[in-house]
Structure 1
């Protein structure tokens, strides 16, 4: 995958760890991605989803002890693709979304960029 595959992609970052969120944003911006967020809580993520303006989301499974099932459900209902980022493995995913793509923590920058290039929505 090349960096060109991510140019002008808009990504919602849902991550409660500030250092991880900043690192994700730095990597993505370096690849031409426009970042929305980060949302550090379920409530903030739901607000950002309602506001729209992004094409795909990176979704941590646990935000300050709160599961992100409602966020995943809302993204799915809106037809917005998302990729889970988690250190808890597949068993930590919401049951209804176990077939979604997952990037295990700790992840490399290349893991993120390749996953986004592979799962980005096709523009009409």
Structure 2
């Protein structure tokens, strides 16, 4: 919390794509505790893609979700210039850096939800620190 009572994610809308119910719930609660509005969690590409609208400020994407990979969501967010990070249990992280570069953070599961919230905050506020 900042000195004026604000939290690090006030007025931010964060999209969550996560097919593990309890992980998605934990992430949602941690983000809300830091002031964010949460969209999701969504467990499939088909349900998440329509939610990638202009109101989304940033996203947390599990890579392997029901029915495939979250790459179409990441691609859409990239096209719109929306920052995102991957929160994944994948062992082969090279595919992510090859496809999206080193600028997209990758958090390897298990990661404490509050650490994910801090990482999203840093991602959103990176341009303020440059």
Q: Is the 8 A contact 2:18 2:43 kept in 1?
A: yes
Root-mean-square deviation (Å): 2.2
Q: SS of 1:21's equivalent?
A: helix
Q: Which residue of 2 aligns with 1:41?
A: 44
Q: SS of 1:5's equivalent?
A: coil
Q: Which residue of 2 aligns with 1:117?
A: 121
Structure 2 CA distance for partners of 1:39 and 1:94, relative to 1, 3 Å? farther
Within a 5 Å distance, the mapping from 1:1-124 to structure 2 comes to 4-49=7-52, 51-89=53-91, 90-91=93-94, 93=96, 95-99=98-102, 100-120=104-124
Number of residue equivalences:
122
Q: SS of 2:110's equivalent?
A: coil
Q: SS of 1:4's equivalent?
A: coil
Which segment drifts farther, 27-36 or 90-99?
90-99
Question: Matched residues in 2 for 1:78 and 1:15: separation?
Answer: 21
Question: Matched residues in 2 for 1:98 and 1:61: separation?
Answer: 15
Task: Give unpaired runs (5+ residues) of structure 2.
Answer: none
Q: Is the 8 A contact 1:103 1:111 kept in 2?
A: no
Q: CA deviation at 1:65?
A: 4.7
Q: What is the TM-score when the length of structure 1 is the normalising length?
A: 0.86
Q: What is the TM-score when the length of structure 2 is the normalising length?
A: 0.82
Q: SS of 2:11's equivalent?
A: coil
Q: CA deviation at 1:109?
A: 2.5
